Structure 1
Amino acid sequence: MYFLNKSFLIAGLFLISIPSFAADFGYVEDNGTVIELKRVNKLLPEYPRQAIRYGIEGSVKVQFNVDTFGAVLDPFVVESNPPGLFERASIKAVRKLIYEPPKFEEKAVNVNNVQVDIVFKFE
């Protein structure tokens, strides 16, 4: 019972700021046209324990590509503040994202250079 209560207490202390079903944008691989992508699931990064322990807030910008099925490919960190603390949780969460299969002119397309900003913040 102690662990259950502790989990609820910790969950109430922090907030990860991201719209649940946000629209993201990227470039069509073949011609560079910007198109909108729609998320099918939520982006749910886990707040790192070390950051919780020391009360650290931060943000990460992750860039990746999306294939014709809506799966995330090759995510990497573009920017992170503070460096080294939130990147792993951000990449792990972004890899789980799924998008509606992207189409341009009625054709399935790969989309490049999609970016998401993830903000880790205490309430």
Structure 2
Amino acid sequence: MRLSNLKILETTKVPSVIIVAIIFNIAIFILIQQLVSNEHTLNLNLSDLNPVKLIRLQQKPEQPKQKKEIDEIEPPPLEKPPPPPKMAEPQIEKPQPMESRLSPPDINMPLSLSGTPYLGNFSKNALKATPRSKPSKPNIDINVVPTYRIQPIYPLRALRSGIQGMVTVEFIIAIDGSVKNPVIIKSKPPKIFDSAVLKAISKWKYNPDMIDGKPVEKKAHQDVKFKLKR
């Protein structure tokens, strides 16, 4: 019985396959027909359309971009700073020499001295006194001629005020001819010329007295006059 059933199934199976194949072929045929009709319709529609002219615009050739020339801006030259102003050198006015109103002090020296030989005229050159004989008694020489002297400086106060005067100084002539212990014994006007005379006369030199061939000290007076040229 089973075998009979199988045979029935096999006989029924074959026609169903054929039916399916026929249906499939019909479907394909319909599909092809549909595609062909659609293509024909599309061609008709395209023929009715006005052709669209495409105008192609010619693009201008791109001009090369001009490079912007960048001018190199040179910095302005640095101005040299002006030289510093020259400092005006202070002009020191040289003191104008005062008109030589000053005359060397007049040193009053007589031409002959008591108890001494004649000395001759006084000159700038030193005069050497001749040795004297032994005196009978000590004496003071007045206005002895020095072998070296410097002029006293005229005091500025007296020069400005036009003051004249005279100073008498006493001192000791040492055995070496130098001046020792100068002392003002008279001055007119007082104390105006004293300092100048003492400072100068302390540097004077004399010839000492000679006794038995040996130098001895002696006292002396000297008058110093201060006069202005008129």
For the aligned pair, the TM-score class normalised by the smaller chain equals: 0.7 to 0.9
> Is this contact kept in 1: 2:172–2:180, CA < 8 A?
yes
SS state at 2:195 partner: helix
Letter in structure 1 aligned against 2:227: K
> Is this contact kept in 1: 2:208–2:218, CA < 8 A?
no
Structure-2 residue corresponding to 1:2: 94
Letter in structure 2 aligned against 1:14: L
Letter in structure 2 aligned against 1:2: K
SS state at 1:122 partner: coil
Letter in structure 2 aligned against 1:121: K
Structure-2 residue corresponding to 1:17: 106
CA RMSD of aligned residues (A): 2.7
Q: Matches of residues 46-85 of structure 1 in structure 2 within 5 Å?
A: 46-85=153-192
More helix by share: 2
TM-score by length of 1: 0.78
Structure-1 residue corresponding to 2:225: 119
Unaligned runs of 5+ in 1: none
SS state at 2:97 partner: helix
Greater CA deviation, 98-107 or 75-84? 98-107
Unaligned runs of 5+ in 2: 1-92, 108-121
Tell me the CA shift for residue 43 of structure 1. Answer: 4.0
SS state at 2:200 partner: helix
TM-score by length of 2: 0.44
* Cα distance, 1:122–1:23 mapped onto 2, change above 3 Å: farther
> Is this contact kept in 1: 2:149–2:201, CA < 8 A?
no
Looking at structure 2, the residues matched to 121 and 22 of structure 1 have their Cα atoms a distance apart, in angstroms, of 24
Looking at structure 2, the residues matched to 40 and 60 of structure 1 have their Cα atoms a distance apart, in angstroms, of 20
Looking at structure 1, the residues matched to 179 and 152 of structure 2 have their Cα atoms a distance apart, in angstroms, of 15
More strand by share: 1
Question: Which whole-Å deviations, capped at 9, do the CAs of 1:21-49 have from their partners, x for residues lacking one?
Answer: 4789xxx9xx5156695422124100001
Looking at structure 2, the residues matched to 121 and 97 of structure 1 have their Cα atoms a distance apart, in angstroms, of 21
User: Kindly, what percent of the aligned residue pairs are identical?
Assistant: 27
Q: Which has the larger radius of gyration?
A: 2
